[in-house]
Amino acid sequence: MTLPLAGLLVVSLEQAVAAPLCSCRLADAGARVIKIERPEGDFARGYDDLAHGASAYFVWLNRGKESVVLDLASPRDKALLDAMLAQADIFVQNLKPGAIDRLGFPIERLRRAHPRLIVCSISGYGERGPYAQRKAYDLLIQADCGLVSITGGSDEPARVGVSVVDIAAGLAAYEAILEALIGRSRTGEGAALSVSLFDAIAEWMTVPLIQHEGGRTPQRVGLAHPSISPYGVFRSMDGVDVLISIQSDREWRVLAGQVLGDAALAADPRFATNVERVSRRTETDVRVQAAFGALAAEPLLAKLADAEIAFSRVSDLALFAQHPHLHRITVGSPVGPQSYPAPPHLRAEPYGPVPALGEHTEKVRREFTPAQVGSIE
């Protein structure tokens, strides 16, 4: 089976998480991705050594790519990048705004020289504006956009446990590139795209912002939902934490009657609607906890399943690693095979290996001979 982006060439001047995630998705879809690294390598290679001696972030985000080391202060390596861009379909870069211009590759000139080229620039705050030149990393943006203010327990704000801002930006860039490819198929024209970490997560913050501007700022409630009750964690007699989600007043009546065994509660007008239950959240939670705490986990979970109440155990990573719905892929790497969660759209074909630093430099130098391609000057 031919993958949908087979035959496309992506050149990615990238580091860290957002841009590598974007180009990883392009590689998964069949594109050839040449990852440009500086001589010391993408600094994500050194984030940790927990993937059998390699970085967990790096092995996740860089499968199926070719690693080429370039020193872009060198005229020779600038000429090589020129040659690659002359043949590329997509150029991804996440340098600080203005850095790509200073290196001699301004986006406007690239677009004039290569009208079919799709250029995607990923930055912290965008190309313009008062914060455009700021350094911007995942947790800084989580803090700046207000995400941490609605994350965590009542005592203090918290970081989301994964790099959610970087992931949001990387996927937004991938989406924008796919849209640009569709547009190019119709018009023959490439595009200049700009995706910022701040914009990517700001769009995800739409609901809490609307709620705040409507007069009800969401509060940090830990493992509970600020707008729905009961929607949170309750503990069984044998100490198992179970999270339930009641999405309608009908489900509340089912929970009260069939799981809590309290027909009177099911009919009590003080708890009949979600608005009433949220206003009496503490009392609602006490009623639910009393019933849950009277049962061991196994019969409690069986009751919830029989009543078709949405629930989940609160898993730690050890339980997650053994989850029956966890699909894994195995990819090669310089330190041996790496097994980790599969992308959501799992393909039948094997995924490419994670490259060693500069593994493909000489091969790419031989392939893209600058003398064969005119300069973009």
Contact 134, 125 (CB under 8 A): yes
What span, in angstroms and rounded, lies between the C-alpha atoms of 43 and 197?
18
**Closest alpha carbon to 121 in 35, 13, 193, 42:** 193
Backbone angles phi, psi at 367, to 5 degrees: -75, -45
User: Among all chains, which residue has been given the structure tokens 């092995």?
Assistant: 59
Closest by alpha carbon to 291, among 320, 264, 330?
Answer: 264
Cβ proximity of 333 and 359 under 8 Å: no
Q: Return phi, psi of residue 351, to 5°.
A: -90, 150
Backbone torsions φ then ψ of 13, nearest 5 degrees: -95, 95
**Tokens encoding 165:** 């801002």
- Looking at 52, 212, 225, 360, which residue is catalytic? 225
Cβ neighbours for 94, distance < 8 A, ≥ 6 positions apart: 13, 14, 15, 16, 18, 19, 121, 122, 123
Cα distance between residue 77 and residue 58, in whole Å:
24
Rounded Cα distance between 258 and 232, Å, is 18
d(CA 231, CA 245): 4
**How far is C-alpha 170 from the chain's CA centre?**
7
Q: How many angstroms separate the CA atoms of 148 and 16, rounded?
A: 21
From the CA atom positions of the chain, what is the Rg in Å? 25
Q: 297 near 238, Cβ under 8 Å?
A: yes
Q: 212 an active-site residue?
A: no
Q: Tell how many helices (H) and how many strands (E) occur in the chain.
A: 16, 11
Q: Which residues are catalytic?
A: 225
